[in-house]
Amino acid sequence: MQFKIKMGVPQMIQLWQKLQAEYRSGSINKNNAILYKKWGKALKVLSEDP
């Protein structure tokens, strides 16, 4: 069973969308790429087993 995670602070969703867009376009820098991958992994793990 997967759970839906809501980002409660508006700045969180804005940052996530910015990182996602940069990653997909290939214009992301190294530090932001690391943050994006770690954050994505954390969201995946939490959605599967909170």
DSSP run (H or E) holding 40: helix 30-48
Decide if 29 is inside a domain. yes
Decide if 42 is inside a domain. yes
Which pLDDT value is given to residue 49? Answer: 79
Decide if 26 is inside a domain. yes
Tokens 């932001």 found at: 32
Grouping H, G, I as helix, E, B as strand and the rest as coil, residue 3 is coil
Decide if 27 is inside a domain. yes
Residue-wise pLDDT tens digits, 3-47: 787 778 889 999 999 999 999 999 999 999 999 999 999 989 988
Among 41, 40, 44, 45, residue whose Cα is nearest residue 16 = 40
Decide if 2 is inside a domain. no
Grouping H, G, I as helix, E, B as strand and the rest as coil, residue 27 is coil
Instruction: Kindly write down the DSSP assignment for every residue of 5-35, as one continuous string.
Output: P---SHHHHHHHHHHHHHHHHT---HHHHHH
Domain count of the fold of the chain? 1
The residue segments making up the domain with residue 40 are 10-48
Decide if 14 is inside a domain. yes
Output the pTM of the full model: 0.79
